[in-house]
A and B are shown apart, each in its own frame.
Chain A
Amino acid sequence: DGGITQSPKYLFRKEGQNVTLSCEQNLNHDAMYWYRQDPGQGLRLIYYSQIVNDFQKGDIAEGYSVSREKKESFPLTVTSAQKNPTAFYLCASSNDLLTASNQPQHFGDGTRLSIL
């Protein structure tokens, strides 16, 4: 079945450490997104990518980095510059590059990141 796979499901970060969250999709979608979810805050956009080798900052990109070397993969790195990384991270994808605003997004099951 087609879908989005996020791994790991749980991740722990030590102080000063960078960690990378994986997101893979086999839906052949052009656009991919990373959201951060905190209790009572809804979803906030970190980064998005509408095509391979191109990505854009979202509303809360500071302390995060991404790459899009392959259409199906959009990993997110939480760097040591992100001082409050504890959150639930959701990856999503949507189909149409030109009309992405009217396409529903498909979500992975998320990665919960905690600080040791």
Chain B
Amino acid sequence: AQSVTQPDIHITVSEGASLELRCNYSYGATPYLFWYVQSPGQGLQLLLKYFSGDTLVQGIKGFEAEFKRSQSSFNLRKPSVHWSDAAEYFCAVGAGGSQGNLIFGKGTKLSVKP
């Protein structure tokens, strides 16, 4: 069965520092991968997605993610974090078949120190 693991529950970084959020997936075929961001009390906003092709994908708000098939990973990165990036981040994989839903990780909460 498909699954997504986000090993870090909570990460704190200083403003201006670089960021990497980890995501590992379990999926038999080529996965469809997504990163979403959620501000408190809000819905989820899509940051970026990977379907095929270039393994480094660019998203909104200066985020990027790299798909590494050999490591079953899809880590999210940002070179310089802003205070407004504080939120919860979710990695997801397409469930495949006719079901069509996404399988989500449990999320990583990002705090940003001034």
Residues of A within 8 A of B (CB): 4, 6, 31, 33, 35, 40-43, 45, 48, 50, 56, 58, 90, 92, 94, 97, 100-110, 112
A43 in contact with B90 (CB, 8 Å): yes
The number of inter-chain residue pairs (CB within 8 angstroms) is: 66
Give chain A's interface secondary structure class.
strand
Total chain B interface residues with beta-carbon distance under 8 A: 26
B41 in contact with A112 (CB, 8 Å): yes
A56 to B98, CA, bound (A): 11
Give the contacts of B11-64 with A (CB-CB under 8 A): 32, 34, 36, 41-46, 49, 51
Chain B residue with the shortest CB-CB distance to A90: B43
A108 to B38, CA, bound (A): 11
A101 in contact with B106 (CB, 8 Å): no
A101 in contact with B44 (CB, 8 Å): no
Q: Is B102 on the interface with A (CB-CB < 8 A)?
A: yes
A42 to B44, CA, bound (A): 11
- Which residues of A have CB within 8 Å of B98? 50
A108 in contact with B43 (CB, 8 Å): yes
Q: How far is the CB of B45 from chain A (nearest CB, A)?
A: 7
Counting chain B CB atoms within 10 Å of each CB, which of A4, A41, A42, A109 scores highest? Answer: A42
